[in-house]
Structure 1
């Protein structure tokens, strides 16, 4: 696994997230905004915001960007590297 080292040592565990939270995290890591995540997952924007807040709490991350980095570092999402 490639580690960028940007999120520090994660203190939360991905296994502590439920399926919907993992889906929200994957969408977030792909760069989707809350309204886009809501459309993709067929949930409300308010639910997306609540899930993001819970993801940050459970994984002990300071903000959405840290969650994106965490998702990439832990392999929750893998995007091809640009050439």
Structure 2
């Protein structure tokens, strides 16, 4: 990772995801889709407080600076497939 919390290569990301549990990966996917904490809580049927806890654990486990870095990480790791612009 560089100083901005962005990766410098894609190889380590798949193994980095292995440090997250299934719920954390689900929260990360929701974050990457742009959902707010209350929306993530509703989608995953957990409390907003639990969402905040999981986000903090994701940032800690992946050594990321903030939620934006987590979103970039998720996209670079291939967790989310965006449609190509036309």
Unpaired runs of at least 5, structure 2: none
SS class of match (2:78): coil
Structure 1, unpaired ranges of 5+: 1-5
Corresponding residue to 2:79 among 67, 76, 80:
76
What TM-score comes out, normalization by structure 1 length?
0.86
Number of aligned pairs?
78
Misfit runs of 4+, over 3 Å? 9-12
RMSD, aligned CA? 1.8
